[in-house]
Amino acid sequence: MSSLEQMYQQVIMDHARQGHGRGLVELDLPATGESHQVNTTCGDEVTLRVGLSGDTVESVSWEGQGCSISQASISVLAEIVEGESLATADEAYEAFRALMQSKGVPLDDEREDLLGDATAFVGVGKYPARIKCALLGWAALRDALIQARAAQASEAQGGPA
Ligand code: ZN
């Protein structure tokens, strides 16, 4: 294993242990969304909650269980996306998907900057069985953001029809 791979493995283990954003937060925001996702092939699970304030992803919190890769990936995405704009969250989602499809080849500098610690998952792209683990939290994020945006749109029109 190269020293870079060792460093990446350490980043993943640290995030799996720290679990940034772990513990669902009760939100007093009109635009919230929540998503429960399961990766049956590995047994990973996550419930992820987001809250929007205008175009800003104000809060990302979650509960989950499963392998280190799945849990670390959720921790990383919470760290990247919380406090950022919806546009940045979408870009990060697309960049992480591209990273998983790159078969272990690093992305360009711009997307690596955007992904930060998430670039440590580059090696996962070489193992198709683990890609689902790494994408679990991101799938939950995308789904939760869609719901939050729908709630926001409904709010703007004066509540649900
Ligand atoms: Zn897993």
Q: Decide: residue 19, CB within 10 A, 0-12 exposed, 13-18 middle, 19+ buried.
A: middle
The parent domain of residue 147 ranges over 3-151
Residue with tokens 């919190």: 61
Flag whether 45 is in a domain: yes
Flag whether 157 is in a domain: no
φ and ψ of 138, to 5 deg: -70, -35
CATH number for the domain spanning 11: value is 3.90.1010.10
CB atoms within 10 A of CB 157: 8
Flag whether 19 is in a domain: yes
The per-residue pLDDT for range 14-62, each reduced to its tens digit, is: 999 999 999 999 999 889 999 999 999 999 999 999 999 999 999 999 9
Put simply, whether the predicted model's pTM sits higher than 0.85 gets the answer: yes
Flag whether 42 is in a domain: yes
Flag whether 156 is in a domain: no
Q: How far is the CA of 69 from the centre of ligand 1 (A)?
A: 6
- The count of structural domains within the chain is 1
Cα distance between residue 83 and residue 21, in whole Å: 12
pLDDT score recorded for residue 158: 75
The per-residue pLDDT for range 100-135, each reduced to its tens digit, is: 999 999 999 999 999 999 999 999 999 999 999 999
Flag whether 86 is in a domain: yes
pLDDT score recorded for residue 161: 54
Flag whether 54 is in a domain: yes
Residue predicted with more confidence, 22 or 2: 22
Q: How far is the CA of 71 from the centre of ligand 1 (A)?
A: 8
- CB distance 49 to 27 below 8 Å: yes
Q: How far is the CA of 67 from the centre of ligand 1 (A)?
A: 4
Q: How far is the CA of 45 from the centre of ligand 1 (A)?
A: 9
The per-residue pLDDT for range 85-107, each reduced to its tens digit, is: 999 999 999 999 999 999 999 99
Flag whether 81 is in a domain: yes
